[in-house]
Amino acid sequence: MTAHARAGAQAHTAPADDGARHDWTLDQILALFGLPFSDLLFQAHCVYRRTFDPNQIQACTLLSIKTGGCPEDCGYCAQSIHHATGVQAQKLMSVDDVAAAARRAREAGSGRFCMGAAWRSLGERNVDRITDMIKAVKAVGMETCVTLGMLTGDQARRLKAAGLDYYNHNVDTSEAFYSTIITTRTYQDRLDTLAHVHDAGIKVCSGGILGMGEARADRAGMLMTLSNLPHHPDSVPINMLVPVAGTPLEDAGKLDPLEFVRTIAVARILMPGAFVRLSAGRESMSDEMQALCFFAGANSAFLGDRLLTAPNTDRDADMRLFERLGIEIMPPETADAAAE
Q: Which residues are catalytic?
A: 70, 74, 77, 114, 145, 205, 277
Residue 80 DSSP one-character state? B
Query: Does residue 26 contact residue 220 with C-beta atoms inside 8 Å?
Result: yes
Neighbours of 188 (CB within 10 A): 10
- Give 272's DSSP letter: T
Residues 6+ apart with CB under 8 A from 112: 58, 59, 60, 61, 142, 143, 144, 145, 165, 166, 332, 335
Cβ contact 111:138 at 8 Å: no
Tell me, what DSSP letter sits at residue 87? P
Q: Pick from 49, 43, 15: which is nearest to 265 by CA?
A: 43
Contacts of 89 (CB under 8 A, 6+ apart): 67, 68, 69, 81, 118
For residue 127, what are the contacts with CB-CB under 8 A and spacing of at least 6? 155, 158, 159
Alpha helices in the chain (DSSP H): 3-13, 26-33, 37-51, 95-107, 127-140, 153-161, 175-178, 187-199, 216-227, 257-270, 287-296, 315-325, 332-338
Q: 251-255 long-range CB contacts below 8 Å, 24 or more apart?
A: 252/211, 252/212, 252/213, 253/211, 253/213, 254/211, 255/210, 255/211
